[in-house]
């Protein structure tokens, strides 16, 4: 997320607007499927409304203390590898439209295929109708956009352990019936291992689901949302605020799980990205549970 490149920019669609200084920068000019790009815009004039357009949809921008506007655009394995334009649109208080743009190149990611055998006792939990119902319940929450920035430049790993299924892996169940790509990372550890909040945030969702198991979602602010599935125990409730590193639950195997693990998903602007690309540090030493 560092190493800022100055990519391109400098043109103003409003013919009468000739900014003395305006730019749009991205922290990576080439991104891989599963990554997010930080976009920073400094319009020449103050804008009353501003947003980005990337890959045929709008992406929010948030004001920073230095006067710039910042946001993300993100890509997943469904985003075709090619060049894309990131377009900025802003309106001044006089209703003058300002636009700027830059270009990023999306590269194909390398993702493995994994086949999993569902134990007999878990067959009911893997019914497509149940999965669909639950996905419809939690899916819209990933689109959450709250303006307070609670995430840090890098996230804590919520639990230590080997990655058993990486982000983006094609998942095929034992009978080949269901297949999709893995929208998070599976980390193995013992049942009951504490799960830490990767960054501060507000609890968007904390409930027991049949397929997804005990599930927690955290809104880290400014379109960054985490999800944690298959927990043994949830230790937070809807609406709670959590601090970075706080224990939010205990690792388990509830829902469709072939063994104890944490499924950690990360959404940026409602696109599931690879959470491991945001991690730079191991979690804090587990605190004694009360
Ligand atoms: Zn998973």
Question: Which pLDDT belongs to residue 170?
Answer: 84
Structure-token pair, residue 6: 């100055």
Centroid of ligand 1 to alpha carbon of 181 (angstroms): 10
Centroid of ligand 1 to alpha carbon of 148 (angstroms): 28
Domain ranges of the chain: 5-107, 113-281
Centroid of ligand 1 to alpha carbon of 125 (angstroms): 14
Centroid of ligand 1 to alpha carbon of 171 (angstroms): 9
Centroid of ligand 1 to alpha carbon of 129 (angstroms): 19
What lies within 8 Å, CB to CB, of 54 at 6+ separation is: 73, 84, 85, 86, 87
pLDDT band at 157 (very low <50, low <70, confident <90, very high): very high
pLDDT band at 173 (very low <50, low <70, confident <90, very high): low
Centroid of ligand 1 to alpha carbon of 248 (angstroms): 18
Centroid of ligand 1 to alpha carbon of 233 (angstroms): 17
Of residues 5, 41, 44, the one with CA closest to residue 21: 44
Give the C-alpha separation, 115 to 97, whole Å: 51
**CATH, range 5-107:** 2.60.40.1930
Question: Which pLDDT belongs to residue 8?
Answer: 37
Check residues 275 and 178 and name the one with the higher pLDDT: 275
- For 130, left (φ over 0), alpha (ψ -120 to 50), or beta? alpha
Cα 204 from chain centre: 14
Kindly list the protein residues that place their beta carbon closer than 5 angstroms to ligand 1, a single-atom ion: 186, 263
Centroid of ligand 1 to alpha carbon of 261 (angstroms): 8
What is the second-level CATH architecture of the domain 113-281? Answer: Distorted Sandwich (2.70)
Percent of the chain scoring above 70 in pLDDT: 84
- Alpha-carbon separation of residue 240 from 12, 154, 204, 219 (angstroms): 44, 22, 8, 11
Centroid of ligand 1 to alpha carbon of 178 (angstroms): 14
Rounded to the nearest integer, the mean pLDDT of the chain is 86
Question: Which pLDDT belongs to residue 7?
Answer: 36
Centroid of ligand 1 to alpha carbon of 9 (angstroms): 39
Centroid of ligand 1 to alpha carbon of 185 (angstroms): 6
Centroid of ligand 1 to alpha carbon of 272 (angstroms): 12
């Amino acid at each position: 997320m560092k190493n800022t490149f100055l990519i391109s920019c400098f043109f103003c669609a409003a013919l009468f607007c000739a900014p003395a200084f305006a730019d749009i920068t991205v922290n990576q000019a080439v991104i891989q499927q599963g990554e997010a790009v930080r976009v920073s815009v400094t319009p020449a004039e103050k804008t009353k409304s501003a947003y980005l357009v990337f890959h045929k949809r709008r992406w929010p921008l948030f004001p920073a203390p230095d006067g710039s506007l910042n946001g993300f655009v993100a890509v997943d394995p469904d985003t075709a590898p090619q060049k894309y334009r990131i377009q900025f649109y802003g309106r001044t208080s006089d209703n003058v439209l300002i636009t700027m743009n830059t270009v990023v190149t999306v590269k194909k990611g390398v993702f493995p295929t994994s086949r999993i055998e569902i134990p007999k006792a878990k067959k009911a939990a893997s019914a497509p109708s149940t999965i669909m119902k639950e996905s419809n319940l939690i899916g819209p929450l990933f689109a959450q956009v709250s303006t307070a920035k609670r995430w840090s430049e890098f996230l804590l790993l919520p639990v230590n352990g080997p990655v058993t299924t990486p982000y983006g892996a094609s998942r095929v169940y034992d009978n080949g019936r269901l297949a999709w790509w893995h929208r998070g990372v599976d980390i193995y550890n013992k049942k009951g291992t504490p799960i830490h909040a990767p960054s501060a945030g507000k609890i968007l969702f904390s409930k027991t689901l049949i397929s997804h198991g005990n599930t927690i979602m955290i809104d880290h602010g400014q379109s960054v949302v985490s999800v944690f599935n298959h927990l043994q125990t949830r230790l937070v409730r809807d609406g709670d605020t959590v601090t970075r590193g706080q224990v939010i639950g205990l690792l388990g195997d509830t829902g469709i799980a072939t063994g104890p693990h944490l499924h950690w998903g990360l959404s940026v602007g409602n696109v599931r990205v690879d959470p491991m690309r945001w991690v730079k540090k191991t979690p804090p030493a587990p605190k004694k549970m009360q």
